[in-house]
Amino acid sequence: MEFELEPTLESIITQDTLKWIFVGGKGGVGKTTTSSSIAVQLALTHPNDQFLLISTDPAHNLSDAFCQKFGKDARKVEGLSNLSCMEIDPEAAMSDLQQQAQQYNNDPNDPLKSMMSDMTGSIPGIDEALSFMEVLKHIKNQKVDENDDNKDQISYKTIIFDTAPTGHTLRFLQLPSTLQKLLGKFQALSGKFGPMLNMLGGGVNQQDMFEKLNEVQKNVTEVNEQFTNPDLTTFVCVCISEFLSLYETERMIQELMSYQMDVNSIVVNQLLFADDDEKPCKRCVSRWKMQKKYLDQMNELYEDYHLVKMPLLGTEIRGVDNLKRFSQFLLKPYDPKVDGAIVTEIEEK
Amino acid sequence: MVSIDLHPYTLVVSSFIVLALRNFISFIGKNSVQEFVWSLFVKFGSRFGVSKSFIAYSAKKEELHKVNKEKKAISAQDQYAKWTKLNRQSDKLSAELKSLEEVIAQNKNSVNRLVGLLITVLTTVPLWFFRIWFRKSVLFYLPTGVFPFYVERVFALPFFPSGAVGLTVWIFAVNSVVSSVLFLVSFLFETKPPFPELKQKVEEVKEEKTSSKPELIEAKTN
Give which of A7, A154, A31 is closest to A83, Cα–Cα. Answer: A154
Residues B109 and B215 in one domain: no
State which residue of chain B sits closest to A253, comparing Cα positions. B88
Cα separations in angstroms, B165 against A23, A180, A348, B8, B20: 88, 67, 110, 11, 19
Task: Decide if A57 is catalytic.
Answer: yes
DSSP string for A210-260: HHHHHHHHHHHHHHHHHHT-TTTEEEEEEEESSHHHHHHHHHHHHHHHHTT
Report whether pLDDT(A1) > 80.
no
Across the interface, do A243 and B88 touch by the CB < 8 Å criterion?
no
Q: How many domains does chain B have?
A: 2
Give me the residue from A246, A254, A301 closest to B85, CB to CB: A301
Residues B96 and B194 in one domain: no
pTM comes to 0.70
Task: Give residue-wise pLDDT tens across range B131-158.
Answer: 888 888 888 888 887 888 888 888 887 8
Q: Is A156 on the interface with B (CB under 8 A)?
A: no
Distance (Å) from the C-alpha of residue B71 to the closest C-alpha of chain A?
A: 14
State which residue of chain B sits closest to A244, comparing Cα positions. B77
The CATH number covering residue A341 comes to 3.40.50.300
Residues B177 and B93 in one domain: no
Distance (Å) from the C-alpha of residue A64 to the closest C-alpha of chain B?
A: 34
CB within 8 Å of A348: residues ≥ 6 apart:
A315, A316, A318
Question: Are the C-beta atoms of A231 and A12 separated by less than 8 Å?
Answer: no
Residues B122 and B165 in one domain: no
Q: φ and ψ at A71, to 5 degrees?
A: -135, -155
Across the interface, do A300 and B91 touch by the CB < 8 Å criterion?
no
Residues B125 and B144 in one domain: no
Domain boundary (B114, B134, B154) is at B134
DSSP string for A290-314: HHHHHHHHHHHHTTTSEEEEEEPPS
Q: Which pLDDT belongs to residue B43?
A: 79
Across the interface, do A301 and B76 touch by the CB < 8 Å criterion?
no
Give me the residue from B76, B85, B91 closest to A243, CB to CB: B76
Domain boundary (B117, B134, B151) is at B134
- β-pairing, A156-162 vs A50-55, is parallel
The CATH number covering residue B57 comes to 1.10.287.660
Residues B169 and B64 in one domain: no
Q: Helix, strand, or coil here: A273? A: coil
Residues B60 and B3 in one domain: yes
Q: A142: how many CB neighbours lie within 10 A of its CB?
A: 19
ipTM attached to this prediction: 0.70
Q: How many domains does chain A have?
A: 1
Domain boundary (B77, B109, B134) is at B134
Task: Give residue-wise pLDDT tens across range A195-251.
Answer: 666 666 555 555 666 676 677 677 777 777 888 888 888 999 999 999 989 988 888
- Given pLDDT bands bounded at 50, 70 and 90, which one contains residue A144? very low
Give me the residue from B76, B77, B84 closest to A301, CB to CB: B84
Domain housing B19:
1-134
Residues B152 and B117 in one domain: no
Domain housing A324:
1-349
Distance (Å) from the C-alpha of residue A301 to the closest C-alpha of chain B?
A: 5
Q: φ and ψ at A307, to 5 degrees?
A: -100, 105
Residues B153 and B74 in one domain: no
Q: Is A297 on the interface with B (CB under 8 A)?
A: yes
DSSP string for A153-184: ---EEEEEEE--SSS-TTGGGG-HHHHHHHHH
Task: Give residue-wise pLDDT tens across range A249-269.
Answer: 888 888 888 888 888 899 999
